[in-house]
Amino acid sequence: MKLAYETKDIRNICFASHGGAGKTTLTECFAFNSKLIERMGKVPDGNTLSDFEPEEIKRQISLNLTVVPIDWKNLKINTIDTPGYFDFVGEVRAGLRVADTAVVVVDVTSGIQTGTEKMMNYCEEIEKPCAIVINKMDRDNIDFQEVYASIRQTFGNKCTSLFLPLIENRVFSGLIDILNKKIVTEQGEKDLSTEQSKEVDTLYAEIVEAAVEADDEMMEKYLSGEVISNEELKSCITKAIACRSLIPVIPVSAFANIGIKLFMDFIAQYFPSPLSMPPAEVMLADKGDKIQLSADPKGPLAALVFKTLTDPYVGKITLFKVMSGTLSNDIKLYNVDEEKEEKMGQLSYPVAKKQENASAICAGDIGALTKLMVTKTGHSLSGVDQKYKIPWVPLPNSNAAMALYASNKADEDKLGAVIPKIQEDDPTIKIVRDEETKQTVIYGVGETHLNVVAEKIKRKFSVSIDLKSPRISYKETIRKAVKVEGKHKKQSGGHGQFGHCWLEISPLPRGEKFLFESKIFGGSIPKNYIPAIEKGVHEAMNEGILAGYPVEDVKVVVYDGSYHPVDSSEIAFKIAASMAFKKAMQEGETVLLEPVMNVTIHVPEQYMGSVIDDLNTKRGRVLGVEADRNWQIINAQMPLNELTRYTTDIGSITAAKGYFELAFSHYEEAPPKVVKSVVEEAKLEKEKQEG
Ligand SMILES: Nc1nc2c(ncn2[C@@H]2O[C@H](COP(=O)(O)OP(=O)(O)O)[C@@H](O)[C@H]2O)c(=O)[nH]1
Ligand SMILES: [Mg+2]
């Protein structure tokens, strides 16, 4: 690796696909061809460059984005490998944010999969240039033409094959290069046969059709029937990729390393460099105005942090892409989001899990800094004079929740210090203390995500933790108005205690929480004891009698009582009020209230019926359905109790396409079945605590 690269010599690509299509193997193959590694590792052997974390090796899937820079033909291809498993889509979005071209990988044995569609749709949404790699061409019984046809049918004719597989004696042995009309194998180049020429001509015409879209002049020429020369065509391929009028398709085998070198050559020659990309829209941090910054190494410094790692030896490692300017060691670095100067450390290039020294990182390139103080993923870095905020990506909903417990006291002490680091490593993790349920709750994108994070906490920070189903913050209330008396009297020797009150306790409408009123006339209780009575009621409300949950939606009126001129005290009245309230709960027909959530579910049309059937089994109520192209948005309400595994359920019903948002709506009386199980659980918990 060189110490610095020029913007024009950089290509930033990001592999994205359904899990298992071969992104990690492709990355490995790139690294091998460029001599970054001497032997190709294998995913099943757990020795690849990009799947290096024990959690990845154990599962044989990628869980993090990994940057592997490849030196190729005097250029640097920053290759970003990403996970395919849906829980880790936050990593994919981060990778795509800093790549100039997405390479969507399709497994030829499976064709278009859910993950393929998700990635293609996301790239369209963010207008990211794309290429499609059809991988595993070495496998038996495959049909390239069928997969290619379905790609064009699903994603449009801008998906155009620039290479055809050369299959000799049923073995995939090389590629037919359509742009150059020749055969390329490991053994060298060959001319096309007559039959091959015919096929190539058809595809060549398809390329011309897609590419001219990118250039008005060329388009005119094409429409008027003039011939577009090969030189002209080649000169607008990059532009056509950059503006998404052309999505090149290429068949390869990462495993057998066939077609990969040609693909790398194609990237080097035709993929847009940062200079060919439209300027980034950024915000002037001081004024709030939006301006455009192009990838000019001489421009003002603006860099976007897209990943933070914690290495047990090195500490915190921050990965960023320079969008404009050049970052060198002598710059005073400023964190725009935290509005703080940042301590500059040694500049380096991330190379999978390692770093290699760099002297400067120029516009368009990716770099790493260690031990930054305040910087987190998504932050913008700039110089101290000109400050720019670069937009970050929307992260997926973190709706899966588990209660997080340290396994023992020593771990509990350590956990507090570790929580901020976990959230720094993974912005889709949120850890919050729920005061109502007295639990620490960890939120993630799905159950696998949470399990992986729990493993990482154990391994990286040596804190042993357990995940349990989170407690739900039920409430208790009464259904019937009651009048109750509370009397606290102790008059055995010395200074006595005396408090006595009559309370009327009645239900309030849902959500009104609490009302307290005094209707004491004629001084049966002196005014100065009334606040103590309210306090006593409050304390008793903290723990209902049904299952120990807080009491809500009650009105309490103190309307009578008595006092003793010497023995009465605030504390005595407080106790009396508390006693009265507990009695009221016994007599007033206690009920359990459960939280009900507003759930907005997004699903492709064809799954709507099954999603609604499932909602009905989960006590859900559909409030309305809206159409959004061929998706449906279902607005529903569902008790939180039924939602604990909903990320998994919605995934299995909709082939992992559906997703949802959650927001608290209101409390509602829980049905007897729920009450029974909550009461039993509370009893067990209590017995456990009592020993
Ligand atoms: N036959 C064959 N197998 C492949 C090829 N590329 C990847 N694989 C295998 O497919 C599985 C998934 O590959 P991997 O690179 O982990 O996919 P990723 O999830 O997209 O990163 C692994 O067992 C690979 O060895 C290929 O070109 N041909
Ligand atoms: Mg992988």
- What residues make up the domain containing 522? 475-588
Q: Is 20 in the pocket of ligand 1 (CB under 6 A)?
A: yes
8 Å CB contact between 343 and 371: yes
Q: Is 254 in the pocket of ligand 1 (CB under 6 A)?
A: yes
Q: Is 259 in the pocket of ligand 1 (CB under 6 A)?
A: no
Distance 272 CA to ligand 1 centre (A): 27
* Residue closest by Cα to atom 28 of ligand 1: 136
683 occurs within a structural domain: no
The Cα 473–Cα 128 span in angstroms is: 43
**Ligand at shortest distance from the CA of 62:** 2
Residue 433 sits in a domain whose CATH number is 3.30.70.870
Cα distance between the two ends of the chain: 63
User: In which band, very low, low, confident or very high, does the pLDDT at 656 lie, cut at 50, 70 and 90?
Assistant: confident
Q: Is 83 in the pocket of ligand 1 (CB under 6 A)?
A: no
Q: Tell whether 135 and 204 lie within a shared domain.
A: yes
Strand order in the sheet with 514-518: 482-490, 497-507, 554-562, 514-518
User: In which band, very low, low, confident or very high, does the pLDDT at 522 lie, cut at 50, 70 and 90?
Assistant: confident
Q: Is 113 in the pocket of ligand 1 (CB under 6 A)?
A: no
In DSSP terms, 106 is beta-bridged to: 134
* Residue closest by Cα to atom 22 of ligand 1: 43
Query: Tokens 């206690």 label which residue?
Result: 590
Ligand 1 pocket test, pick from 23, 25, 26, 60 with the greatest ligand atom count within 8 Å of Cβ, gives 25
Q: Is 88 in the pocket of ligand 1 (CB under 6 A)?
A: no
Q: Tell whether 128 and 63 lie within a shared domain.
A: yes
Q: Tell whether 311 and 442 lie within a shared domain.
A: no
Distance 67 CA to ligand 2 centre (A): 12
Question: 354, 389, 424: which is the final residue of a domain?
Answer: 389
pLDDT at 523: 87
Which atom of ligand 1 lies nearest, measured to the CA of 15? 20
**Position with higher pLDDT, 628 vs 538:** 538
The Cα 339–Cα 359 span in angstroms is: 26
Q: Is 84 in the pocket of ligand 1 (CB under 6 A)?
A: yes
Burial 114-136 (b: 16+ CB within 10 A, else e): bbbbbbbebbeeeebbbbbbbbb
Ligand 1 pocket test, pick from 43, 68, 137, 448 with the greatest ligand atom count within 8 Å of Cβ, gives 43
User: In which band, very low, low, confident or very high, does the pLDDT at 437 lie, cut at 50, 70 and 90?
Assistant: confident
Handedness of CA 672, 677, 678, 682 (dihedral sign): positive
Looking at every residue in the chain, the average pLDDT score rounds to 94
Strand order in the sheet with 430-434: 430-434, 439-444, 400-406, 465-468
User: In which band, very low, low, confident or very high, does the pLDDT at 298 lie, cut at 50, 70 and 90?
Assistant: very high
690 occurs within a structural domain: no
Distance 63 CA to ligand 2 centre (A): 8
Residue 46 sits in a domain whose CATH number is 3.40.50.300
Residue 580 sits in a domain whose CATH number is 3.30.230.10
For residues 347-362, average pLDDT: 94
352 C-beta neighbours (distance < 10 Å), count:
20
8 Å CB contact between 261 and 267: no
Q: Is 11 in the pocket of ligand 1 (CB under 6 A)?
A: no
686 occurs within a structural domain: no
10 C-beta neighbours (distance < 10 Å), count:
23
679 occurs within a structural domain: no
How many residues are given for the chain? 691
Q: Tell whether 120 and 149 lie within a shared domain.
A: yes
In DSSP terms, 356 is beta-bridged to: 349
Q: Tell whether 101 and 223 lie within a shared domain.
A: yes
Which atom of ligand 1 lies nearest, measured to the CA of 42? 25
* Residue closest by Cα to atom 14 of ligand 1: 22
Residue 367: strand, helix, or coil: strand
Nearest to 478 by CA among 551, 429, 408, 542: 551
Which atom of ligand 1 lies nearest, measured to the CA of 252? 27
380, two tokens: 């913008």
Distance 82 CA to ligand 2 centre (A): 6
Q: Is 27 in the pocket of ligand 1 (CB under 6 A)?
A: no
336 C-beta neighbours (distance < 10 Å), count:
21
For residues 171-196, average pLDDT: 94
Share of the chain above pLDDT 90, in %: 84
365 occurs within a structural domain: yes
Q: Tell whether 463 and 484 lie within a shared domain.
A: no
pLDDT at 313: 83
1 occurs within a structural domain: no
Q: Tell whether 48 and 187 lie within a shared domain.
A: yes
Count of domains for the chain: 5
pLDDT at 521: 85
Q: Tell whether 317 and 331 lie within a shared domain.
A: yes
Residue 295 sits in a domain whose CATH number is 2.40.30.10
Distance 134 CA to ligand 1 centre (A): 12
Q: Tell whether 228 and 300 lie within a shared domain.
A: no
pLDDT higher than threshold 90 for residue 512: yes
Burial class (CB in 10 A: 0-12, 13-18, 19+), 435: exposed
Give the pairing type, strands 475-478 and 590-604: antiparallel
Q: How far is CA 620 from CA 207, 597, 611, 644, 655, in A?
A: 51, 10, 11, 14, 21
Query: 111 phi and psi, to 5 degrees?
Result: 70, -155
pLDDT higher than threshold 70 for residue 3: yes
pLDDT at 35: 96
Angle between helix 260-270 and helix 230-242 axes, rounded to 10 deg:
90
48 occurs within a structural domain: yes
Residue 610 sits in a domain whose CATH number is 3.30.70.240
Which atom of ligand 1 lies nearest, measured to the CA of 256? 27
Q: Is 135 in the pocket of ligand 1 (CB under 6 A)?
A: yes
| DSSP state for residue 643 in the 8-state scheme | -
For residues 631-635, average pLDDT: 94
Which helix (H) or strand (E) segment holds residue 477: the answer is strand 475-478
Q: Is 138 in the pocket of ligand 1 (CB under 6 A)?
A: yes
Q: Tell whether 194 and 267 lie within a shared domain.
A: yes
Q: Is 25 in the pocket of ligand 1 (CB under 6 A)?
A: yes
**Ligand at shortest distance from the CA of 135:** 1
In DSSP terms, 328 is beta-bridged to: 360
Question: 276, 293, 317: which is the final residue of a domain?
Answer: 276
Distance 26 CA to ligand 2 centre (A): 9
pLDDT higher than threshold 70 for residue 691: no
What single letter denotes the amino acid at residue 562?
S
Q: Tell whether 497 and 575 lie within a shared domain.
A: yes
Question: 560, 588, 616: which is the final residue of a domain?
Answer: 588
Q: Is 66 in the pocket of ligand 1 (CB under 6 A)?
A: no
13 occurs within a structural domain: yes
pLDDT at 288: 84
Distance 25 CA to ligand 1 centre (A): 6
Q: Tell whether 189 and 124 lie within a shared domain.
A: yes
Which atom of ligand 1 lies nearest, measured to the CA of 44? 23
pLDDT higher than threshold 80 for residue 495: no
pLDDT higher than threshold 70 for residue 221: yes
